[in-house]
Structure 1
Amino acid sequence: MTKLIEAEGLKKSYGTIHAVRGIDLSVEKGTLFAFLGPNGAGKSTTIEILSAQTAPDAGTVRIGGHILGRDDMAIRAEIGIVFQDSVLDKLLTVRENLMLRGSFYGMKRSALENAAKAAAEAADVTDFLDRPYGKLSGGQRRRADIARALIHTPPLLFLDEPTTGLDPQTRRRVWETVRLLQKERGMTVFLTTHYMEEAAQADYIVIMDHGRILAGGTPAELKETYTRDILRIAPQKEEALAALLKRCGVRFQKTGGELVVRLKHTTDAIRILESCREEIAGFEVRRGTMDDVFLNITGTEVRD
């Protein structure tokens, strides 16, 4: 596949704070790329560099063939950004905000109106297009923010924690909008998020902390490498089941009246259950999750 973003050796410091410490990354065209890390990991600084908002102290970036530092205007023309904090005018309607944003790209009136309509439809904001931005709910504002980023139909969309602070139902609707855009337009989406269930839907994930990239891969690859499935067994009689598992060479832990086995392979559960079925009252196999991946790689849960 074609690489839309290629970055090598990126560094950025603010005084004694080393926000980005020589990272390399690439993003394939048309994919959903998730960039994960706790607060202070360096994610937002990396996005600022990639989107030509901030110059790196060292390193090179190519976006769609354009070179950062030489073709910054061309790079800005090909990206859309949804920031953590909104940049829209609360007193203007959504339509007025879109028209204002589109005017920055030198569009004529008719082209600008068509672009605003297309962006509004793509982000599902037509129902409140003529309402003041400041009167919208959190989820409506987020979708309006996405519409603003789409006004010039960019091939690359940066989403910097776009659903933080929203309730689960609203997050799901915003996310459905993003995925629909990515699929229908072939748009490349570069996402940062604190929600592991969102990251699990990405085509590729990179995890960063303390300015460095710690791991990268597809969700399945990361789960395979950094997690173990867990078999939880409710015993008929705890002592009898524990003794049987020991005789079979199965290591386990006792937790809340259950015996917990960390599996090397999911199918190992079949052999274990068959060997002690008479002593089992119930069981559950829990697959490794992206939360487990994040915890095992960074040594911490997600820091909000």
Structure 2
Amino acid sequence: MPDAVGVKSLFASYDGKTVLDDVSFSIRRGDSFALLGPNGAGKTTLVSILCTLRLPDRGTAQVAGIDVVKQPTKARETIGVVFQDSSLDDRLSAWENLEFHGLVHGLAPKVRHERAEAVLALVELSDWADDIVRNFSGGMRRRLEIARALMHEPTILFLDEPTVGLDPQTRQRIWSYLDRLRRERHLTVLTTTHYIEEVEGADQVCIIDHGHIIAQGTPTELKAAHGSRWLHATPQDETVAAEIATAYPQIQRLGSGSLALPITDEALADTFLAQYRYRLEEIRFQEPTLESVFLALTGRELRDRANGQRDAQRSAGRRGGQR
């Protein structure tokens, strides 16, 4: 059987600026595939192409063996999508949102009813089936969007930043639903996320930046190939930071104002601490993680994670607390 997703030599641009530059990868059926990258890396553009929402400049993209450019309608039958921004109709109830989605996909009345009941139970929203979505919290909306994406029983699920702004308990609950679906339905899941810790258990992790895929593999493979031990230090002031950056050209400046030094041997750490220990506000060591892999490959942290998280949390807060 063909791969769940196949992308070959994909190019895309906006206003003359290249957004995707010769992107190629494949996803096996039933795999969990994580796409990591900062804003502007090309993640959302890539997902939009796979979801048939925009055309590539050139190259090919297939889902379940179907060319998304040549057969977009057929391709849509195989995919479910949860967008970064909510696309629910908040004037309707949860049930009505699901009913409308079922109508769009041509599901018979009995099938629509059975599947709506099933997906609401899956995401623990059965008690709110008749409530207007406008009154839902951010977490409830996210769960309903996942339920809606599953109404027509897709074989591939695309999730664009599915848990941004949600509290840890709700995030964990959502990933539990998705893990259950993968086990029970052999569902293929492609996720873009800023929460690197959420993809530690992914089958494949793909790091993309400035439209290029710069690394791909299992979390273990990426850590072995690119991970390193880092010393994170927060200087007392900018003068100290500038002095350290000059003395250690390999050091990385992080958005939080701290510095990160890759530790190639213990002697390097000892020398650095002997020089600057008393001019630092904070010191910590970080063992190899996917975060350190991203830092090693791109020269920075996942830079917009905190800002995106705060914006989404403020928006969710205006709609009420998480439930």
Fold match, TM over 0.5?
A: yes
SS of aligned partner of 1:251:
helix
Could you tell me how far apart the structure 2 residues matched to 1:56 and 1:295 are? 29
- 1:155 aligned residue: 155
TM-score, structure 2 as length reference: 0.77
Shift of 1:256: 6.4
- 2:9 aligned residue: 9
**Range 181-190 or range 212-221, more displaced:** 181-190
SS of aligned partner of 2:214:
strand
User: Identity of counterpart residues, as a percentage?
Assistant: 41
TM-score, structure 1 as length reference: 0.81
Q: Structure 2: which 5+ runs fail to align? A: 232-264, 278-283, 305-323
SS of aligned partner of 1:85:
coil
* 1:172 aligned onto 2:177: no
Shift of 1:286: 5.5
* 1:195 aligned onto 2:211: no
- 2:98 aligned residue: 98
Match of 2:269 among 229, 253, 259: 253
SS of aligned partner of 1:26:
strand
* CA distances 1:73-120 after superposition (whole Å, capped 9, x unpaired): 110011000001111111211111100111001122111111211222
- 2:133 aligned residue: 133
Spell out structure 1 runs of 4+ moving beyond 3 A. Answer: 254-257, 284-287
Could you tell me how far apart the structure 1 residues matched to 2:174 and 2:25 are? 26
Please give the root-mean-square deviation of Cα atoms over the aligned residues, in Å.
2.4
* CA distances 1:183-211 after superposition (whole Å, capped 9, x unpaired): 22110000000001012121100000101
Could you tell me how far apart the structure 1 residues matched to 2:55 and 2:195 are? 29
Distance 1:286 1:250, change over 3 A: closer
Shift of 1:128: 1.9
Contact 1:93 1:132 (8 Å CA) reproduced:
yes
Which amino acid is the alignment partner of residue 296 of structure 1?
Answer: A
Aligned length: 265
- 1:66 aligned residue: 66
* CA distances 1:240-276 after superposition (whole Å, capped 9, x unpaired): xxxxxxxxx952413768xx9xxxxxxxxxxxxxxxx
Q: Structure 1: which 5+ runs fail to align? A: 232-248, 261-283
- 1:82 aligned residue: 82
Rg larger for: 1
Shift of 1:68: 2.2
Could you tell me how far apart the structure 2 residues matched to 1:2 and 1:107 are? 26
Could you tell me how far apart the structure 1 residues matched to 2:169 and 2:145 are? 18
Contact 2:107 2:152 (8 Å CA) reproduced:
no
SS of aligned partner of 2:267:
coil
Could you tell me how far apart the structure 2 residues matched to 1:250 and 1:142 are? 46
SS of aligned partner of 2:179:
helix
Could you tell me how far apart the structure 2 residues matched to 1:300 and 1:175 are? 27
SS of aligned partner of 1:33:
strand
SS of aligned partner of 1:48:
helix
